[in-house]
Structure 1
Amino acid sequence: MDRSGNRDRSPCKRSRIEPPILKGKRTERSNVLTYKKLQKMPLNLRKMAVREARYRNEPILGKKKKRRRNPQDVKTARRLRNDFDRSEHNAMLASTSQELRRILQDIEALSDIPHDITNTELRGEIAIAEGRATTIYVQRDGLSTLTVVLHQHEPTIAQLKRAIALISRAQHKRRQRERCQERLRRRGIADDSYERRQPVAVASSTGELVHSAQRNGHDHRAFVSWRFLWRCFGLLNVDTNQPIDDQRSSGRATLEELGIENAATLKFVHRVKYFGRQRQS
């Protein structure tokens, strides 16, 4: 009997028997959400657990793992110097643009030239003044007609396509800047320096440059390249109702060889091999 009593009072037996109070505390601790538990969960369950804890106003216990610091955020002496040089360069560009705008406004013959005119547009204006320019009108579905002025004596189809890309992007950038300025005027902000400091975010090329992408009252810009656009779209001569073979002579064929005269009207159309039966087969 004594031996059995000693067995019941052994320390090993006592450690296995838990009071009900300790069991309840242990279950409560297991239900508490901690950062250590979150690390072991998959991403979807982790987000759901955090969301449910936020709804119940329950805190997450433990120490939150600190995010690694981005080395780009560390301000070194070289980065500070580069930031200063960049700000000085932007200030110089802003003052130059303002002075150029004032000069163009004072001269009546140059008042219709925008201050941010591109090199292609400027050469086209010079060619018009000299009487040797070739003007092409490009119609776009839902957008304004694009006026392309070529300064070359015998422009090729490749030069026309390059000019269309540059001029359409420049016009799109001006339109975005006008929208930004109109928005600032409605807010009552009339500081020109503030407008100059705000950059106009324009993609290298967008779907809006070819056809209207307006859906549900606002613009959905599809960021694509001109290489993709020229694969999907071609040019159609509206006067003769004939498509233009822009692959002829690897793009070195002149506009005269392709039947495009001065003041001709072209139009963007979908290519058959990408949007017709040949693509389906």
Structure 2
Amino acid sequence: MDQGSRRGRSPHWERRRAARPDALTYKQLQKMPLNLRKKAVREARNRHEKIPGRRKERKRISRELSTTPRRQRNDFDRSEHNAMLASTSQELRRILASCETLSDIPHDITPTELMGEIAIAEGQATTVHVQRDGLSTLTVVLHQSEPTIAQLKRAIGLISQAQHRRKQRERHEERLRRRGIAEESAAGESGHEDGRPRRQPVVAMASSTGELVHSAQRNGHDHRAFVSWRFLWRCFGLLNVDTNQPIDDRRSNGRATLKELGIENAATLKFVHRVKYFGRQRQS
């Protein structure tokens, strides 16, 4: 009785009594597999329950201590590589601008675009115009003698990404020009002691965005969904505007030629929602 009365008078007795025997603790979490540990923490967070025990804190290494000689060498090599790319791009621009025949070719032309220009000069090119909702019409030039639908889709992805990257770079350069940064950098390059050009800012681009298929303008702002081309081709398909017929790009596992699908030279295609013409299909 005395022991029970002492326990009843203890200020921590009610808290120990209210605590559940199956309460989740950090000690139990350490013994769980990773997937069950994340599941238990997520369920406890949804129930607004605190996990008793001492949480194992991660050791945070400051940026000053983490700067090792190897990382410094990598940063130096990366900066030198970016400077070499910037100087090469600037020299290539000057060469293309000085030649009247090559003045209309961009300095960052892709191999697909270059092979298309060569095929146009040889008279063996296949040109396809692809309409996009709210965006400019994409002109795709294929250099293959009998291009397939897979090669067309590949060229659409590469050329649209290249044009989107050029558009982003032009916006970036225009923004710098308005702020007066471009003039200052040009003056700094001309007055550099050792004659080496300074590093130019590199515009980072995502591998693929939804804006490559349709316009991302919503209420005057850009709403880009960063997705892969595999996802885009699952959602969108191609429609032949001349015949008003959808193109089955999965025919013969993508090896069907454009002539077999009814796509002639200088044909006009456009992006359409795949579910509208082919229905809902199981994702692969």
Contact 2:83/2:198, CA 8 A, preserved across alignment: no
C-alpha separation in 2, matches of 1:236 and 1:105: 38
Partner amino acid for 2:119?
Answer: A
Partner amino acid, structure 2, of 1:244: I
Identity within the alignment, %: 81
Query: Counterparts in 2 of 1:232-251, with a 5 A limit?
Result: 232-251=235-254
Select the structure with the greater relative contact order (CA < 8 A; seq sep ≥ 6): 2
Q: CA deviation at 1:81?
A: 1.1
What is the CA RMSD across the aligned residues, in angstroms? Answer: 2.7
* Aligned CA distance change for structure 1 residues 276 and 197 (closer, same or farther; 3 Å): same
Q: Indicate the SS of the match to 2:181.
A: coil
Q: How much does 1:201 deviate?
A: 2.1
Q: Corresponding residue for 2:225?
A: 222
Give the aligned residue type for 1:246: D
Per-residue CA deviations over 1:36-80 (Å, capped at 9, x if unaligned) read: xxxxxx99xxxxxxxxxxxxxxxxxxxxx9972257961111111
Choose between structure 1 and 2: higher helix proportion: 1
SS, match of residue 128 in structure 2: strand
Are 1:86 and 2:78 an aligned pair? yes
Q: What's the TM-score once normalised by structure 2's chain length?
A: 0.71
Moved more, 182-191 or 125-134: 182-191
* Structure 1: gaps (5+ residues): 1-41, 44-64
Distance 1:146 1:94 in 2: 28
- Which of 213, 226, 229 does residue 216 from structure 2 map onto? 213
Where 1:159 maps in the other structure, the secondary structure is helix
* Aligned residue number for residue 123 of structure 1: 115
Q: Which residue of 2 aligns with 1:231?
A: 234
Instruction: Report the counterpart of residue 260 of structure 1 in structure 2.
Output: 263
Task: Please give the secondary structure, in 2, of the residue aligned with 1:81.
Answer: helix
Distance of aligned partners of 1:274 and 1:200 in 2 relative to their CA distance in 1, 3 Å threshold: farther
For residues 114 and 69 of structure 1, the distance between their equivalents in structure 2, rounded to whole angstroms, comes to 45
Paired with 2:262 and 2:62, the residues of 1 have a C-alpha distance of 58
The corresponding residue for 1:184 is 176
**TM-score, normalised via structure 1 length:** 0.72
CA distance in 1 between counterparts of 2:217 and 2:143 reads 33
Contact preservation (8 Å) 1:207, 1:224: yes
Cα shift at 1:204: 0.6
Distance (whole Å) between structure 2 residues aligned to residue 105 and residue 201 of structure 1: 25
Query: 1:143 is matched with which residue?
Result: 135
Aligned residue number for residue 47 of structure 1: none
Q: CA deviation at 1:189?
A: 1.6
Distance between the aligned counterparts of 1:278 and 1:98, measured in 2?
48
Q: Alpha carbons of 1:239 and 1:84: their partners in 2 closer, same or farther (altered >3 Å)?
A: same
Count, aligned residues: 218
Q: Is the 8 A contact 1:173 1:202 kept in 2?
A: yes
Check whether the contact 1:232–1:274 (CA below 8 A) recurs between aligned residues.
no
Q: How much does 1:226 deviate?
A: 0.4
Shift of 1:87: 1.2
